[in-house]
Amino acid sequence: MSKAAREMAILTLALLAALLIVVSDEPIYGLLLGSWALMGWFWFRDKQQKVTVDASDLDPKDVKAYRQQHRGATISDAVNALGKPKP
pLDDT in tens, the chain (87 residues): 677 788 888 899 999 999 999 998 889 999 999 999 999 888 887 777 787 888 888 899 999 999 999 988 888 889 989 988 887
Q: With 0.75 as the threshold, say if the pTM is over it.
A: no
* Cβ atoms of 19 and 45 closer than 8 Å: no
- What pLDDT does residue 51 have? 79
Write down the pLDDT at residue 19.
92
State the Cα torsion 27-33-38-43 to the nearest 10°.
160
Map residue 78 onto helix, strand or coil: helix
CA gap 82, 87 in Å, rounded: 15
Q: Are 66 and 38 in contact (CB under 8 A)?
A: no
The set of residues, in sequence order, having a beta carbon less than 8 Å from that of 85 and lying 6+ positions away, is 53, 54
